[in-house]
């Protein structure tokens, strides 16, 4: 009898279990270089490559900072980013924006955060992790998380990495490819804008004003790299992805904590039309002597908001008693496996206490709300001059799936 032909290979009916096994991260790949310039917004001159998916952007800053004739008085940086005075360096990225033209949704800004807050957000979510930076004092050895030299006229060469996740962090490998940027949906139209600060973001007195390339000469540089899941085009084309957003609001929250003290004060309106995965709040006192347009925290505080909650149509959706935030922060600590430093609150709708990845399907269904609904973040606040705050809303748009 003739040998029967082998059946043609068929694709599995459910690709999701397969995706986590056939998808591997490619690791950082270089895209473009832009030059850091004080008090200037710099942008990628051309689009990022959009032939494949993108899970992370990496901003790699290398520069030399030369102290003035009188050494700087550095501001007190966030302890969550390290114990040395160099924890202020992420504020050199005053704001980072990722924007482009989506095939379905048109012009979209999917990421906008201050650099320091972006680093703090990651440090909160990923226990035992701080975005990497290193310092060479006055030509000496490069030391990871080393202190800055504050001696007059001395130099500090810095090498800093700010990673930006373009999906909700802590998802499983199978879910991450469904929620990260799907490059073909942004054909040749995905850009990065970086608003650079100046020395006043680092120091409250005698800030440095001379910035050069690492080692001296030329201009400081920011290499932009992407981390992409390596997935075959046949499988990639089968994915119907969601869009992930992480957007900061600053004006309304700052006004609330600077002059709007009281009970149940609105800190910020929240966006509707997308499902909410996380809400991040940072509160503190503004530093002193910053240049126009530069915002930096002189200190962080838990006492500015003492009962913080999100609400819908003036009804609290997570009930807390007066002064209840310490219990909420303890809950956060158990969820993320780390101590929660002063000044932070994080409402997480997709993570849980205990082991296991986050579940994006449990996001708060704010996509079903209209602009007529009062969806907001509220708090009991003690207002005072020079207090500042920012709210970051992480959201997803669309229901991801597989097309066979």
Integer Cα distance of 144 and 402 in angstroms: 43
Closest to 360 (Cα-Cα) out of 334, 395, 336: 395
Looking at residue 257, which CATH number applies to its domain? Answer: 2.60.120.730
The domain boundary residue, chosen from 221, 242, 263: 242
Q: Which two tokens stand for residue 120?
A: 């703090």
403 inside domain: no
- Tell me if 61 sits within 8 A of 220, measured CB to CB: yes
Integer Cα distance of 45 and 47 in angstroms: 7
Which residues share a beta bridge with 181?
A: 54
Please state, in angstroms and as integers, the Cα–Cα distance from residue 242 to each residue in 26, 47, 122, 361, following that order.
21, 21, 21, 11
Angle between helical axes of 115-125 and 325-336 (0-180°, round to 10): 70
The set of residues, in sequence order, having a beta carbon less than 8 Å from that of 42 and lying 6+ positions away, is 34, 35, 36, 193, 194, 196, 222
Q: DSSP secondary-structure letter at 312?
A: E
DSSP line for 133-167: EEEEETT--EEETPPPP-STT-EEEEEEEEEEESS
255 and 232 both lie in a single domain: no
pLDDT tens per residue across span 170-183: 998 888 989 999 99
Number of domains in the chain: 2
Closest to 118 (Cα-Cα) out of 188, 75, 169: 169
Confidence of residue 321 (pLDDT cuts 50, 70, 90): confident
402 inside domain: no
pLDDT of amino acid 66: 98
Confidence of residue 278 (pLDDT cuts 50, 70, 90): very high
The residue-averaged pLDDT of 311-322 equals: 80
How many residues can be counted in the chain?
404
pLDDT of amino acid 12: 53
Structural domain of 333: 243-397
180 and 266 both lie in a single domain: no
- Tell me if 126 sits within 8 A of 346, measured CB to CB: no
DSSP line for 42-65: EE-SSPPP-SS-B-EEEEEEEEEE
The domain boundary residue, chosen from 217, 242, 267: 242
pLDDT of amino acid 395: 98
pLDDT of amino acid 346: 94
pLDDT of amino acid 25: 80
pLDDT tens per residue across span 184-217: 999 999 999 999 999 999 999 999 999 999 999 9
The domain boundary residue, chosen from 242, 261, 294: 242
Specify the range with the lowest mean pLDDT, choosing from 15-19, 33-37, 275-279, 283-287: 15-19
pLDDT tens per residue across span 236-272: 777 889 999 999 999 999 999 999 889 999 999 999 9
pLDDT tens per residue across span 106-131: 999 999 999 999 999 999 999 889 99
Which residues share a beta bridge with 389?
A: 283
Element (H, E) at 316: strand 315-316
pLDDT reading at 146 higher than 70: yes
Confidence of residue 329 (pLDDT cuts 50, 70, 90): very high
Q: What percent of the chain has pLDDT over 70?
A: 93
The residue-averaged pLDDT of 38-63 equals: 97
134 and 188 both lie in a single domain: yes
Q: Give the helix ranges, DSSP H, for 223-269.
A: 233-236, 251-259
Confidence of residue 4 (pLDDT cuts 50, 70, 90): low
Integer Cα distance of 387 and 133 in angstroms: 28
Integer Cα distance of 42 and 371 in angstroms: 33
116 and 179 both lie in a single domain: yes
CA torsion 295-296-299-305 (nearest 10°) is 40
């Amino acid at each position: 009898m003739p040998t029967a032909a082998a059946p043609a290979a068929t694709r599995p009916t459910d690709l999701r279990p397969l995706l986590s096994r056939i998808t591997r991260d490619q690791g950082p790949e270089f895209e473009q270089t832009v030059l850091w310039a004080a008090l200037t917004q710099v942008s990628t001159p051309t689009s990022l490559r959009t032939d494949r998916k993108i899970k992370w952007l990496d901003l790699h800053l290398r520069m030399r900072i030369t102290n003035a004739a009188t050494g700087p008085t550095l501001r007190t940086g966030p302890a969550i980013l390290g114990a040395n005075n160099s924890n202020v360096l992420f504020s050199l990225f005053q704001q980072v924006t990722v924007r482009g033209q989506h095939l379905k949704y048109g012009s979209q800004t999917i990421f906008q955060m201050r650099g320091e807050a972006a680093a703090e957000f990651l440090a909160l979510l990923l226990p035992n992790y701080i975005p990497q930076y290193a310092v060479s004092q006055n030509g000496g050895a490069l030391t990871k998380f080393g202190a800055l030299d504050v001696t007059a006229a001395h130099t500090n060469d810095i090498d800093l990495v700010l990673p930006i996740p373009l999906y909700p962090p802590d998802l499983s490998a199978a879910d991450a490819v469904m929620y990260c940027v799907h490059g073909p949906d942004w054909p040749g139209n995905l850009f990065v804008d970086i608003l650079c600060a100046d020395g006043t973001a680092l120091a409250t007195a005698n800030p440095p004003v001379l910035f050069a390339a690492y080692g001296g000469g030329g201009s400081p540089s920011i290499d932009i790299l992407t981390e992409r899941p390596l997935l075959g085009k046949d499988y990639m084309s089968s994915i119907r992805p969601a869009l992930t957003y992480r957007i900061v609001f600053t004006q309304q929250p700052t006004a609330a904590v600077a002059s709007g003290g009281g009970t149940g004060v609105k800190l910020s309106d929240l966006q509707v039309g997308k499902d909410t995965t996380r809400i991040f709040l940072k509160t503190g006192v503004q530093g002193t002597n910053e240049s126009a347009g530069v915002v930096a925290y002189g200190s962080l505080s838990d006492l500015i908001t003492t009962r913080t909650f999100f609400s819908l149509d003036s009804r609290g959706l997570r009930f807390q008693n007066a002064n209840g935030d310490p219990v909420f922060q303890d809950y956060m600590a158990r969820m993320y496996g780390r101590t929660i430093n002063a000044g932070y609150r994080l409402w997480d709708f997709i993570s849980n206490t205990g082991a296991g990845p986050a579940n994006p399907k449990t996001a708060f269904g704010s996509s079903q709300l209209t602009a007529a609904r009062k969806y907001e973040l509220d708090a009991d606040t003690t207002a005072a001059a020079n207090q500042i705050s920012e709210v970051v809303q992480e959201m997803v748009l669309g229901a991801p799936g597989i097309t066979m």
